[in-house]
Amino acid sequence: MSGWEGFLHGLSVALQPEVLIYCVFGVVLGTFVGVLPGIGAMATISLLLPITYYLSPEAALIMLAGVYYGSQYGGAVASILLRLPGTPQSAVTTLDGYPLAQQGRAGVALFTSMTSSFLGSFFGIAVLIVLSGFLSRAATAFGAADYAAMMILGLVAASTIGAKHPAKGLAMVVLGLILGCVGTDVNSGAQRFTFGQAELMDGVNLVALAMGLFGVAEVIANIQVAERTGVPRRIAMRDLLPSREELKRIPFPALRGASLGSFFGALPGTGSTISSFLAYATERRISRHPEKFGHGAVEGVAGPEAANNAAAISAFVPTLTLGIPGDPIMALMLGALVIHGVQPGPLMLEARPDMFWGLIASFGIGNLLLLILNLPLIGIWVSMLRIPFRWLYPAILIFVCLGVYSVRGAPFDIFAVALIGAIGYALSLARFNPALLLLGFVLGPLIETNLRRALLISRGDPMIFLERPISAVFVAAIVALILVSVVQAMRRVRPA
């Protein structure tokens, strides 16, 4: 079926009562965790992974996706009101959103943020519908060598593009690949890195790893954070309405931001954070009054918010059609699919059309719900900022223990998640990015499978990666990225 026919078919899946309930739950929870700085979508999706074992694959993925793009909406609330980004993507929103709040126009900033997020999301949905069929058809020409090279390129790109310390990023990816090798070898039955522990024979538990790195580690990191002050008591509905002149200044920046977000979101290794900063820089550059930016320009809110929401949707393009997660949250989504025995990739449109198109249709339903719910409920989200950390984080730790134990009923996993959390906190203190470890862990087994398959086809000849045109292009891109990173590192250490 064509893209738009598939979307209409997906609506019939997404509007099923069970799926719709989990969609609403996901977007509301996503907004909640986006509003609260220090939690975020990554930790929340990690906590929800055990629940997905008891849901249908469609409901599970739609719920997790709702948390992801719902957090993009919620992240702007704390950024605008308190200058505390609820998510990394909303950090740039503080530049003009907070000055607007200081001028007594917090409602206008929140209205601009939410409507721009809505426009950006629907732009990303259109891009996803158009590109999905094309990429899936193109990817059917890929062989095992092409897939292996493409996944390695995704890992290298994620750890080097825009990174201050590419070597640290690559080190995290390699550590993730090593952890992905733990367990029983599928072909030979040999035990790898299990150290005699029967609990490791099936490999490192993805739920324990994700909860430890992004749940326990976040709690440890925020133990000494001061309680939030200066939370507004109330924002009336009439305060949300901008002037007619401000309304005219919202649509075009939102469309430009959505275009940038859709493009960069679909590229592995870039993501919505880069998109939002580029959108802000673009609006400031083309504005007739650049001096207003940083002092409460609505364009400085509209562009970045549209960009990060469009990027959040288009990030599903490589994940679903190629099986390549564009960022660590997409890696968690990929892990959730693997838990349910679903293999993302070019054949997913044919093998699981209900899941594929149901997910895309749920984006439209979820974003419409977010717009309808968030504007009237903005007072509730503001009041959530008053929840003390001393209540919030013990509850998170309890949910972590319950969640990780419910997967296999093994006490070993509780100790593992505590150890992983401590290691994750230590890595963040040393300025390593634990998210890249998760990316390597999820893609590691897929790379190994395709690498072995390619070498079996070529009878052990590694030249197959250079003889096939598609994989040769990917290998050239990998080499180029590494060389650029090496050159940049040498320039930084060179004395002036």
**What is the distance between the alpha carbons of residues 155 and 440, in angstroms, rounded to a whole number?**
7
**In the prediction, which pLDDT does 267 show?**
67
Domain that holds residue 432: 3-493
pLDDT value of residue 234: 59
**CB-CB contact of 169 with 436 (8 Å):** yes
Query: Contact at 8 Å (CB) between 72 and 57?
Result: no
Number of other residues whose CB lies within 10 A of the CB of residue 451: 19
| Residues 26 and 63: beta-carbon distance below 8 Å | yes
Buried b (16+ CB within 10 A) or exposed e, 24-55: bbbbbbbbbbbbbbbbbbbbbbbbbbbebeeb
For residue 181, give the 3-state DSSP assignment: coil
What was the pLDDT predicted at 25? 92
* Distance in angstroms (rounded) separating the CA atoms of residues 78 and 109: 12
Give the residue from 236, 231, 228 showing the smallest Cα distance to 107. Answer: 236
Q: How confident is the prediction along the chain (496 residues), in pLDDT tens digits per residue?
A: 566 777 888 888 888 888 899 999 998 888 888 777 656 777 788 888 888 888 888 888 889 988 888 887 777 777 777 666 656 667 778 778 888 877 777 778 888 888 888 888 888 888 888 777 676 666 667 788 888 888 888 788 777 765 677 888 888 889 989 988 888 887 777 888 888 888 888 888 877 887 788 778 877 877 766 555 555 555 655 656 677 777 788 888 889 988 888 877 776 655 566 677 778 878 887 888 777 887 788 888 888 888 888 888 888 877 777 777 766 778 788 888 877 777 777 777 777 888 888 888 888 888 888 888 777 776 676 666 566 667 777 777 887 787 777 767 788 888 888 899 899 889 888 888 887 888 788 778 888 888 888 988 888 888 989 988 888 998 998 899 888 888 887 877 765 4
Nearest to 89 by CA among 259, 249, 329: 329
Alpha-carbon distance of 203 to 428, in angstroms, equals 24
The number of distinct structural domains making up the chain is 1
- Return the amino acid letter for 25: F
In this prediction, residue 382 carries a pLDDT of 63
Amino acid 387: pLDDT: 67
| Residues near 229 by beta carbon (within 8 Å), at least 6 away in sequence | none
Phi first, then psi, for residue 56 (nearest 5°) are -70, 155
| Token pair of 86 as six digits | 């609820």
